[in-house]
Amino acid sequence: MDTARAARAHIIWTSIALVLILIASCLTYVFMSKVSGCQRINIVNVSTIESMFRHQVSREKWLLKACNHTNDRLVWDEEWEDHKSPGKSILDQNKTWLVVQENGVYLVYIQANFELKPQKDTVKLNLLVDLNYGEKTEIFTAAHDTQVVNGNKPVDAKLNTFLLMYMQSTNQLSVRVYPSNLVNYNPRPFSTFITIIKWADW
């Protein structure tokens, strides 16, 4: 019972955080577009946001938790598998690539937890997102950090990132983490997970 209550609280707070980050991202985009020489990432065109919300949006939503890794790519399990349509999955057969079902603007939140073992050297943590558009693959450094482990006990570290992006049907998304051997997969209720919500049609 406590686990279920903790899971619901986690999802509610994650949703609130996503909404606040969306507002901050939109405001940042508006201000950055006025700065000359600033590079724009083709994720969402703010001028079309008003028109996007005029249409009925399908309720595509996914919560996946990492269970392993292969070649530094996280392997996922669907947490809401009981609520999805029969035969409908966002994962490929290797469970490392998420295949988008519909065109639209998606909110993506990724969190990776690490268990750092005591050592003398600093540890560089990286979270990369690969977006496969069919003809090409783009790589984004979604989050990074450098940690120093002091003492004799393992230390928890966390990387997280929020993305607001336009994706077309059959586009693929994959997450790589470094160092992958230090990723913590133990649920608390979720240690390493990804949330994908379709925010608007396109």
Q: Tell me the per-residue pLDDT of 126-166, one tens digit each, with 9 for 90 and over.
A: 999 999 987 888 887 778 888 887 777 888 889 999 888 88
Q: What is the CA radius of gyration of the chain?
A: 18
Q: Please give the pLDDT value at position 30.
A: 46
* Cβ neighbours of residue 57 closer than 8 Å, sequence gap 6 or more: 104, 198, 199, 200, 201
Question: What distances in angstroms separate CA 54 from CA 29, 57, 75, 201, one per listed residue?
Answer: 21, 9, 36, 9
Domain definitions of the chain by residue range? 2-200
Q: Please determine, for residue 38, whether its predicted confidence score (pLDDT) is greater than 60.
A: no
Q: Please determine, for residue 116, whether its predicted confidence score (pLDDT) is greater than 90.
A: no
Amino acid at 9: A
Q: Which residue has the higher pLDDT, 118 or 97?
A: 97
Q: Please determine, for residue 107, whether its predicted confidence score (pLDDT) is greater than 60.
A: yes
Q: Please give the pLDDT value at position 34.
A: 44
Q: Please give the pLDDT value at position 32.
A: 45
Q: What value does the mean pLDDT of the chain take?
A: 77
Record the pTM. 0.68
Average pLDDT score over residue span 172-198: 88
- Give the Cα separation of 88 and 90 in Å (integer): 7
Answer whether CATH 3.40.30.10 is correct for domain 2-200: no
Least confident stretch, 3-7, 82-86, 105-109, 156-160 = 82-86
Residue 12's DSSP bridge partners are none
CB 189 within 8 A of CB 130: no
Average pLDDT score over residue span 173-190: 87
The neighbour count for residue 12, using CB atoms within 10 Å, is 10
Q: Please determine, for residue 31, whether its predicted confidence score (pLDDT) is greater than 50.
A: no
| 3-class DSSP state of 133 | coil
